[in-house]
């Protein structure tokens, strides 16, 4: 089987799975998880003007303990702290709640584990203000997310730790605000993007996540970020696969998407032979997705 045929089969199968798990994050506060908490020990909803989304480990910056990098947002905020039984696995708990977001379309902006996150005491007392979140530093897990749905832009974080009494605590925070094309984009770092891309083998870019414009073309911000990753990994080759769902011009529109992304990468210094293009037009079923176009970049 040729490379093109393999890519076609893989992308069609992935698209069918995606169609069955289309995003519904805006319909309920938190998606269900197979791992259930023992109890909710803290829950709050409020409007905030100064909510901080961490994009790096916590450390002393200008004399204050704060994330190495962060962004501040205003919007409607929901927070809750969950407690889990000691016999549960912190990795299993965290994976279940993280995947409930990622599988539905949330983009991971930052993640860390263990001592790479910084001191647990500082997260618990100086950042969250919740003493139950002070625990073993080797058990820490933190991720920050972004996605769009229902005309809103959403940001969320998860922080998990196991305390000395072996109980597991998970902090969930979720802020929603009106989506605006004029607001500065919030992107993962090149290192974080490469980590996620390498782990899954595919970078899925969509209009609903703000990575493609109304014509299905890659935005300038994402072109710069992907170019940075490819320059950092000069031997990496790609298969670019375009999908478009225009009823009369699907193939032509998908072809335009492919031409745009390859031209943009070549103009940014990426050798053209590193990028192979594949036009799937409207062959992959994505009827339940809100966007009319999608671009997949597969590592090869």
Summarize pLDDT for 41-53 with one digit per residue, the tens: 999 999 988 999 9
Token duo for residue 127: 């950042």
pLDDT of residue 129: 93
Q: Which strands, in side-by-side order, build the sheet including 275-281?
A: 202-206, 293-299, 238-244, 275-281
0.85 surpassed by pTM: no
pLDDT category at 246 given cuts 50, 70, 90 is confident
d(Cα 296, Cα 299) in Å, to the nearest integer? 10
| Range among 68-77, 156-165, 190-199 with highest mean pLDDT value | 156-165
The Cα 288–Cα 156 span in angstroms is 24
Q: What is the pLDDT of residue 208?
A: 65
Taking the mean position of all CA atoms in its chain, how far away is CA 244? 22
Q: How far apart are CA 218 and CA 253, in angstroms?
A: 13
Q: Please, what is the average pLDDT of the chain?
A: 83
């Amino acid at each position: 089987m040729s490379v093109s045929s393999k890519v076609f089969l893989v992308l069609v199968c992935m698209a069918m799975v995606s169609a069955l798990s289309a995003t519904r994050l805006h319909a309920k506060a938190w998606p269900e998880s197979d791992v259930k908490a023992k109890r909710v020990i803290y829950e709050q909803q409020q409007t905030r003007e100064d909510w901080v989304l961490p994009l790096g480990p916590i450390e002393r910056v200008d004399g204050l303990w704060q994330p190495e990098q962060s962004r501040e947002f205003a919007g409607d905020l929901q927070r809750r702290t969950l407690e889990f039984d000691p016999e549960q696995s912190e990795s299993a708990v965290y994976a279940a709640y993280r995947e409930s977001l990622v599988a539905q379309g949330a983009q991971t902006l930052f993640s860390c584990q263990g001592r790479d996150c910084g001191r647990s005491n500082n997260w618990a007392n100086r950042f969250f203000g919740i003493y139950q979140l002070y625990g073993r530093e080797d058990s820490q897990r933190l991720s920050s997310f972004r996605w769009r749905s229902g005309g809103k832009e959403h940001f969320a974080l998860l922080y998990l730790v196991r305390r000395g009494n072996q109980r597991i605590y998970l902090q969930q925070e979720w802020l929603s605000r009106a989506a605006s094309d004029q607001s500065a984009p919030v992107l993962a770092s090149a290192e974080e993007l490469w980590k996620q891309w390498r782990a899954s083998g595919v970078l899925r870019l969509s209009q609903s996540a703000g990575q493609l414009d109304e014509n299905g073309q890659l935005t300038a911000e994402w072109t710069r970020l992907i170019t940075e990753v490819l320059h950092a990994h000069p031997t990496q080759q790609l298969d670019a696969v375009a999908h478009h769902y225009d009823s009369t011009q699907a193939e032509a529109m998908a072809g335009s998407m492919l031409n745009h992304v390859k031209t943009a990468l070549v103009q940014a210094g990426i050798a053209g032979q590193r990028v192979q293009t594949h036009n799937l037009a409207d062959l992959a079923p994505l009827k339940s997705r809100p966007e009319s176009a999608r671009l997949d970049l597969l590592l090869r």
